[in-house]
Structure 1
Amino acid sequence: MGQPSRSENPSSGFAVNEVATFDDARNANSQEHELTLLQALRMYPRAVFWSLIMSTAVVMEGYDTKLIGTLFAQPAFQKAYGKQASTGSFQVSAPWQTGLSNGATGGQLIGLLMAGYLCERFGFRITMISGLSTVVALIFMTFFAANLVVLEIGQTLFGISLGMFQTLPVIYALEISPLSLRAYLTNYVNFCWAFGQILATGILRGVLKLDNEWAYRIPFAVQWTWPVILIPLLFFAPESPWWLVRRGRVQEAREVLHRLVSSQHVDFDFDKHVALMVVTTEHERTVNAETSYWACFQSANLRRTIIVIGIYCIQTLNGNPLRGYSTYFLEQAGFPTVQAFNLGIAGYGIALAGGFFSWVLLPLFGRRTIYLWSLVLMFVIMLLIGILGVPLAKTGNVSYSWAIGSLLLISSFLYNCSIGPLTNTLCAEIPSSILRSKSIALARWSYAISTIVAGVLTPYQLNPTAWNWSAKTGFFWAGGCLISIIFTFFLVPEPKDRTAAEMDLLFEKKVPARHFAKTQVDFSDAVYEQEIKTV
């Protein structure tokens, strides 16, 4: 059996002229394609377990994203931090809503860039544990915040820690699982995000009748739950074998595979699968040996970086900010506070159902097909919400409010069975393996910028003391959907059933996005020819 590497030094390179190694990689690549979903579940149960554990941290992001936006509709929070409006009700002003909504997002900009460096320097496990540990301390600031200034500072600092582990679960899920499981495990990350949102809405609904400070402090305190559970578990988690290969620690990568694969599969060839990782990594280094953020914008990586940035920004452009403010939006659209909270909970229950339904769609259609047509449907929904908002503003008829509420629920299901989960899958599969962490960090960074812009606009669009667009805001996000459709049609490729090496070659050959699914690739022959030229 050819050994996957002759050196533990990542800079020394792999013995690319060793024919046996390429034969091992070719065989492992073929096995990746032949492995069915059920076979993969039986072979990689431990990989599934650790991926689910790592992804659970995203519950915190979904929870925090929903928490502040929903608190704006809570009477106790409004009275404690808001001012009395001309209508007699208490409202947190639009500028403060904007600041609080963007506080955590602004902090995430710093945390994301730190994570792109730290996870490649220290590994996924250490970076995740460090981020969760700092979260424990920072929750104290928001829990005891006596005024909006302290709450704003707490949210911003909390966002830095949150940014440190936002992208890690997606990359970790992809790098510890076989080809047939990757879409399902990366999709699960979005399920955790949706669960965090429904948890925030449910807890806030449960404390709605409280008229004191505990109505909003209890929801902040719940955030301590996840670090306490996850930190001890992640201490025992295996590191990504791809990361170990990138660091030149090939023997450790082989040992990690032993931990991830069921002991019942004694015929599993660990050397061949490590060889595939090494050959893919070294091929990417021959194309561009740099692993800095700047390398993401060079040669074929520029196209890949633009695509993942665009996909992440589409999460904002398709109307997600409107759904994030759903409880407050429904309240402004004419629903009583209790009904607005109830519909908000129903919306996120439907979102969870959408997450499960996404797993049904994955084996039936390509990623690009699902993603593109879901954006078309979202465009229609947002347009209808805007149209219904016109007579609602004139008549105040409650039937229009119910129609708008129903469309919002449908959009939540649609997003969570397609656009939301596929964002993680596409953005994990499109970058090169050596730049995956930094590419996704840049994409999430750009998404955070788009969220900040939307966070400035949305409160003004919905707040009755500002622009007061109410449901007519749907027209604005319909325009965002149209931009997203055009971008997806021309730029987003089909990565389904493609290994990392095959994706590398499709981008290097400059295959148009629309032709990825039909283009034939013999990865090992092409890699071997190019590597021999460099030896």
Structure 2
Amino acid sequence: MAGGAVLTANPLKLDLRSHRKCFFICSVITIASFQYGLDYALVGGFMAMPGFLRVFGYFNTATNKWSIDPTVQQLISSLMTIGTFVGSLLVGPFSALFGRRHGLWAASLLNFVATGIMIGTTSLGALYFSRLLLGVSVGWFLTFAQVYVNEAAPAHLRGVMFAVYQCQLSVGSIVGAAVDNGTHLLDGPEAYRIPLAVFFVAPAVQSVAIFFFPESPRWLVTQGKEDAAKSALRRLRNARISETELEAEFNEIAVSTREQMEQRDGKHLWIDMWRGRDRRRTLLSIAIICFHCANGSSWVNIYTTYFLAAAGVTEAFSYSVMVTCMGLIGAIASSFIVRRFDRRVIVLVGVGACGLCQLAFAVAWTVAPGSVAAAKSIVAFISLFTFFYVAYAPYAWLMGGEYPNNHLRAHTFGLATALNFLGNWLGVFTAPYFINPASLGWNAKYGYVWAGSNAILFVFTWFYIPETRDRTLEEIHEMFEANVPARKFKGYVCAGTRAMADAVILRDKEAAHAAHVEDPPAAASATGRDLSGSHMEKA
């Protein structure tokens, strides 16, 4: 479990210091995930915010409180998820034409337009449209950022970078919950307009920074721009990386990518991903990415504040901030273990713990519904659920991006992400029917459904998810092409990929040796003359 992949073909130094530049670039790229966490926390809080409900809700005379219609609640929450579904499906075609960086710029533009509409409107129709548009933006932010990091980060640091990605998402959730907590008592529309203004910050910072970052080297190779790809790779690597190491890494990328492209016609990528051994890779990518919606995280994340308030928890907004902080702690904790433990192990522990947490608060509500003890149990187990979910979630994203080949990555990852968001939409859209008192009113007993779902994920991971820790994307390609069983990925020796990297190292060694022994007869003759002269003088 600890120890990592054996005999990796990665030619680079396996430390962090030698890759500080790439670490910084990828960290800025992952700011995109801040928007996703921010949206979940902000909009979830709006559902229990009088200032928001006065504009988009109604006054319930029976309870003498402001309320929101379940249908409106569903549409506000779910339309963003539908937007992410549509946006993610467009990632492949857009990326094939314009690359990863332009996708992030386009996401920022859509974000600015959608946020402006949400802040300025009092119409439900305009709000619905802006939520859909914001969803497309968020889908592009998440997908393009993750594809870029998968392709730019060194093999041994991809796990760490995705932990940073999850930290950014958790920070977004904390900021969103904290801002909501600070404005939720305001009676006017500023109660939700002030939090919405935060949507402008992260995309503005990222949009400026991307001007100084290179495009993905692997994408450039797929476009036939190998000189530009090598230049981009050099910009991603520190000066501490020797030219031999950089040449070896680039040779591995270029040779493997050319081979991958030659095996496909390059014109029907939506079809190619389902052909031959790529079918297995596509299905695995979709499966592991859809773990996010299949473990019940969507309804827990977006309805945390509403759910706690419905369960009789006092200071629900404050507790919501605490829950999001538990997520950040989980992300930070996972960043320390990802280099030491296999990804399969982290995912197994994560889905197992998430299932037990959902089961625990469902049982608590069944035994003592509406009681103080049940409310405390809900707070405790939602906090633990958030910790374990956030601790393993980035590696489900990571593996989903590692499985496809370089030529098909954007299309496959975009489809997998879209299906995950479709699952999220289903969870968000149906949750009010289960938890809202005006419908079934199950409240925390809804956790029974998701406890069973997590049990299925545990079994699936055990039998079908391959281990990819510290493997280059080209090694992963070789193992899939060799049809290696999932349980044997960890110990498999990638001789072919190693040879690609070693070819450059051997070439440089031979060149250096040739330089040392250049013109050997003349050198030997000169040495002989010197020695002879020396002897003669002595004689």
Provide the rounded CA distance (Å) in 2 between the counterparts of 1:433 and 1:49: 23
- Alpha carbons 1:33, 1:179 under 8 Å: kept: no
Q: How far apart are the structure 1 equivalents of 2:273 and 2:375? A: 46
Distance 1:440 1:258 in 2: 26
Match of 2:90 in 1: 114
Q: CA deviation at 1:264?
A: 4.2
Instruction: Give the 3-state SS of the residue equivalent to 1:36 in structure 2.
Output: coil
Q: State the alpha-carbon separation in 2 of the partners of residues 236 and 154 from structure 1.
A: 30
Q: 2:279 aligns with which of 284, 292, 302?
A: 302
Find the partner of 2:385 among 408, 411, 417: 411
Distance 2:373 2:252 in 1: 59
> Which of 171, 180, 184 is the matching residue for 2:156?
180
Q: Measured at CA, do residues 30 and 465 of structure 1 come closer, stay the same or move farther in structure 2, by a change above 3 Å?
A: closer
* Match in the other structure for 2:306: 328
SS of the equivalent of 1:123 reads helix
Show CA shifts across 1:254-308 (max 9, x none): 2122222222445544332221111110221243343612211111111111111
Question: Which residue identity does 1:333 align to in structure 2?
Answer: A
2:22 to 42, 47, 53: 47
Q: Out of 463, 467, 471, which is 2:440 matched to? A: 467
- Using a 3 Å threshold, how does the CA distance of structure 1 residues 391 and 140 change in structure 2: closer, same or farther? same
Alignment of 1:217-228 (within 5 A): 217-228=193-204
Aligned to 2:527: none
The answer to whether the 8 Å contact 2:12/2:241 transfers is: no
User: Any residues of structure 2 matched to 1:277-296 within 5 Å, and which?
Assistant: 277-290=253-266, 292-296=269-273
CA distance in 1, matches of 2:464, 2:8: 28
Q: Which residue of 1 aligns with 2:536?
A: none
**Cross-structure match for 2:412:** 439
- 1:36 lines up with 2:14 in the alignment: yes
Q: Secondary structure at the match of 1:32?
A: coil
TM-score after normalising by structure 1? 0.88
Give the corresponding residue for 1:503. 476
2:105: which partner in 1? 129
Amino acid at match of 1:414: F
Aligned partner of 1:88 in structure 2 is 64
The answer on whether the counterparts of 2:11 and 2:245 sit within 8 Å (CA) in structure 1 is no
Does residue 232 (structure 1) correspond to residue 208 (structure 2)? The answer is yes
Secondary structure, aligned partner of 1:511: coil
Q: CA deviation at 1:149?
A: 2.0
Aligned to 1:270: 246
The answer (yes or no) to whether the contact 2:177–2:320 under 8 Å persists in 1 is yes
Instruction: Pick closer, same or farther for the CA change 1:78–1:348 going to 2, 3 Å.
Output: same
Q: Kindly indicate whether the alpha-carbon contact (under 8 Å) linking 1:169 and 1:189 is maintained by their aligned counterparts in 2.
A: no
Query: What SS does the corresponding residue of 2:434 show, helix, strand or coil?
Result: helix
Contact 1:392 1:401 in 2 (8 A): no
Q: CA deviation at 1:358?
A: 0.5
Distance 1:171 1:132 in 2: 17
Q: What's the secondary structure of 1:84's corresponding residue?
A: strand
What secondary structure does 1:406 align onto?
helix
Unaligned ranges ≥5, structure 1: 1-28, 529-535
Query: What does 1:41-80 align with in structure 2 at a 5 Å threshold?
Result: 41-80=16-55
- Are 2:102 and 1:102 aligned? no
Aligned CA distance change for structure 1 residues 306 and 264 (closer, same or farther; 3 Å): closer
Residue 527 of structure 1: CA displacement?
8.4
8 Å CA contact 2:252–2:500 kept in 1: the answer is no
Describe how 1:376-391 pairs up with structure 2 within 5 A: 376-391=352-367
Cα drift, residue 332 of structure 1: 0.9
- 2:224 aligns with 248
- The 8 Å contact of residues 160 and 339 in structure 2, kept in 1 or not, is answered as no
1:144 aligns with: 120
Residue of structure 1 equivalent to 2:506: none
Cα deviations across residues 503-525 of structure 1 (Å, max 9, x unaligned)?
Answer: 12222232222222133331248
Q: Distance in 1 between matches of 2:184 and 2:497?
A: 60
d(CA) in 1 for partners of 2:500, 2:282:
22
Q: CA deviation at 1:120?
A: 2.5
Moved more, 378-387 or 110-119: 110-119
Task: Determine if contact 2:88/2:417 at 8 Å carries over to the other structure.
Answer: yes
> So what's the TM-score if we normalise by structure 2?
0.87
Deviation readout 1:197-227 (Å, 9 max, x if unpaired): 1111110001022111100111111111122
Q: 1:1-54, CA deviations, whole angstroms, 9 ceiling, x for partnerless residues? A: xxxxxxxxxxxxxxxxxxxxxxxxxxxx966266322xxx22222211111111
1:214 match:
190
Q: Secondary structure at the match of 1:236?
A: coil
- Choose the corresponding residue for 1:454, options 416, 419, 427: 427
Percent identity of equivalent pairs? 27
Query: 1:486 is matched by which residue type in structure 2?
Result: V
